[in-house]
Structure 1
């Protein structure tokens, strides 16, 4: 079973993602509301995939992405964000993100992206 950590500063978005993922049989190992919490939870839960927002308090998603990849260069981190910027997407990929999905997203779109990432 694929283990996923969901990171977003809004409870509503975390709930949507968790519901979609659990319906599809994924195991949610944790939910974090900021990048600092994401790094801490990554260390304790060791997920197969992280879904990470970019704009968050304490530590943003880009810094959390870099920090987690510094800990484990093989970590799979998929950015899920409202930032609709090609430059930000390019930066996320340059920093090591495996994918970049813009909010609002369709259920099928995010599931297809997760499937591609996990292959």
Structure 2
């Protein structure tokens, strides 16, 4: 870090002269890097739920790049916005969340996909994770729990935690039965 003496004669370009210990030194403050808000696209056919999610996320500092009720329309929003997180419902008319999930990853490979669904069946969780989802959340969790989970997923880097409901435990595949 370059120091700048308050004594005008002591200042040199590209360096500094030696100074006596009684001369005060002013140091330039380190630049403060602002944390970029987590960007989210919400894909759910329930208009009311999308509205609630938008309000909850925006009020906690998330950047909502878009929301859509149609899985195929989500492809355009995701392609244009390249969000950090795609919050995706599974049960939608015409094209389901599971069907569009791989296409969303093609459009925005760095996005993390969090399934937010009322379907809690183990086979659906496994199918979503196999298709490339980073996490699975059952609708009905509190906004605080959802927000905390989305932040963990967004900041997880290449190691992607998977925490289906209940969110307090890691997902572990059930042991495979052995013959004999």
For the criterion TM > 0.5, the same-fold answer is yes
Question: Would the aligned equivalents of 1:54 and 1:60 in 2 still touch at CA under 8 Å?
Answer: yes
Select which of 15, 18, 33 maps to 2:69: 33
RMSD: 1.1
Pairing 1:53-64 to 2, within 5 Å after superposition = 53-64=89-100
2:73 aligned with 1:2:
no
Shift of residue 116 of structure 1?
Answer: 1.4
Q: Distance in 2 between matches of 1:32 and 1:11?
A: 9
Shift of residue 58 of structure 1?
Answer: 2.6
2:122 aligned with 1:82:
no
2:58 aligned with 1:22:
yes
Q: Secondary structure of 1:51's partner?
A: strand
Could you list the structure 1 runs, at least 4 aligned residues long, displaced by more than 3 angstroms after superposition: none
2:82 aligned with 1:46:
yes
* Structure (1 or 2) with the larger CA radius of gyration: 2
Select which of 97, 119, 143 maps to 1:107: 143
Kindly tell me the number of residue pairs found equivalent between the two proteins. 119
Q: Distance in 1 between matches of 2:116 and 2:125?
A: 10
Q: Distance in 2 between matches of 1:114 and 1:71?
A: 20
Shift of residue 75 of structure 1?
Answer: 2.2
Shift of residue 113 of structure 1?
Answer: 1.2
Question: Would the aligned equivalents of 2:71 and 2:92 in 1 still touch at CA under 8 Å?
Answer: yes
Structure 1 unaligned segments of length 5 or more: list them.
Answer: none
Shift of residue 74 of structure 1?
Answer: 2.8
Structure 2 unaligned segments of length 5 or more: list them.
Answer: 1-36, 156-180
Q: Secondary structure of 1:69's partner?
A: helix
Question: Would the aligned equivalents of 1:34 and 1:60 in 2 still touch at CA under 8 Å?
Answer: no
Higher relative CO (Cα under 8 Å, sequence separation at least 6) belongs to 1
